[in-house]
Structures are given as structure tokens and as C-alpha cells.
Amino acid sequence: MMSTLKSLLAAAVAVTGIALTSCNDSESGGNNGPDRYVNFVTLAENTPEGSVMTFRKDGDSPLITLTSNQQFDTSIFKANTRVVVDYIPASGDGYASGPVTLVSAVNTEGGGAPVQAKTAEETRNWASDLVSVNLVQRTGEYLNLVFTASTRRDPKECAVYVDKATIGTECPCLHLIFEASDTGVADPYAFFASYDISEVWNAESTKRIRVYYADYMSPTHYTEITKILTENNNKPLQ
């Protein structure tokens, strides 16, 4: 999966540009250093002195903090938003807190904003163009998706919504809606999406969520993510 994410990120960077500024090319973990890793992160700080990123490996695993003396291009990347980064950890462990060298990065669809509620009527019964989904995962309060689709660079719509009719039930349903541009020649593009689903996920009534998408393999395909409950208090892990 990591090699697939690297390839998709490389394709996205080829379109959008790396947009990273190196402050010190001698930072530990250079191009000849340990293996590269690709992950969704929150850009917690971004200053001329460097950047700070936080993320969880999966589910409710411990928060990881990455630091770099490289700054993200402030005209493209905003603090407190979700981005996908390709990085080289100085320690060699991509899931340990510590300094990293940033190789490339792209913004995400949604940027970590709270998922919005819509109805089937508002979305033409969740109509969506076909996509090819590579990843659906929850990391902490965020839902992350990676997929490819044929379109112009800027699709008409690319967003995740929660079905208003399922809020408050045991299984809230979320839908990826993708509508390609209908002008020009369509090309395949990689998309990275990240949304804050904490309000939906942390509801006492929620036991699991379903994420629906119109995949080439099955137009009504979905991924189900179930809460992991503690034995003591039967509440979701935080």
C-alpha cells in the first residue's frame, strides 16, 4: 500500500508541484537516508523556521509529531489543514515522533474540515461518477480516502457528505460524491481527501460507519469501519 501511495502522490505532485522550501539541505535523513513514507498529516505549524505535523498511524493509535526545518509554501498550504506528505524520517521509523526531511506534499480535498450533512434528495440520490478507490481509513477524528478518477484537473464536485437521515443511528452513512468536469479531454488523476468525522464518530449511538463510493468494480460499494470498545466502560477509545 505504501508503494501505491507513493506512486499516486508522485502523480499528484507532477500536476501541482512540490511547493516545499528547504531551509537546510543537510538536515538528517537526506535523499540517501532511510526509506520514504507517505501519510495524511495535520499541518500544525508552518513558519520560516520550519513546520510541525501531527497524525495517527491508524484508528486511535498514539499521536505522532513530525518536525522539519523546511517550510511549506504559505500561498498553497495553510496551517491547521490536512495534507499528504512524502517524508524521510531521521530515525528510520516513519511512525515515530521526530525530525524528518520533506520530499513532497499535496493538499487534500476537504482539508480536514468537518463533514457536512446532506440528503439523498439534495444529491440526486448520491449520484457520483465512477472512481477507483485505493484507501479508506480512519485516523483519530479524520476519515481519509485515496482514489483515482478521470477528469480535467478541477472536477465539478469532489466531497464527502454524511447522510442526514442516518445521523443518530447505529450506522451513519457517508458518501463520496465525485463529478468530473465535462469540458476538455479527461485524464486520470489521483485524489486525496480528509474530513473531520468526530461529531458523527463520537456520538453515543454510533457503533460503526459506512463509507459509500461509486467504484469501477461495484457502483454501490462501501467500506465499513467499526468502533473498538473498551471492556470496562463500553465507550470508544480516544
Domain boundaries, the chain: 2-107, 116-226
> What average pLDDT does the segment 87-109 reach?
95
Equal CATH topology for 2-107 and 116-226: no
Mean pLDDT over 174-181 rounds to 95
Could you tell me the pTM of the whole model?
0.87
Q: Which CATH superfamily is domain 116-226 in?
A: NigD-like, C-terminal beta sandwich domain (2.60.40.2370)
Mean pLDDT of 214-237: 72
CA distances for 54 relative to 34, 63, 85, 86, 224, angstroms: 20, 7, 11, 14, 25
Tell whether domain 2-107 is in CATH 3.30.1540: no
Contact 177, 191 (CB under 8 A): no
- Res 234 pLDDT > 50: no
Q: What is the pLDDT of residue 30?
A: 42
Q: Which residue has the cell 468502533?
A: 227
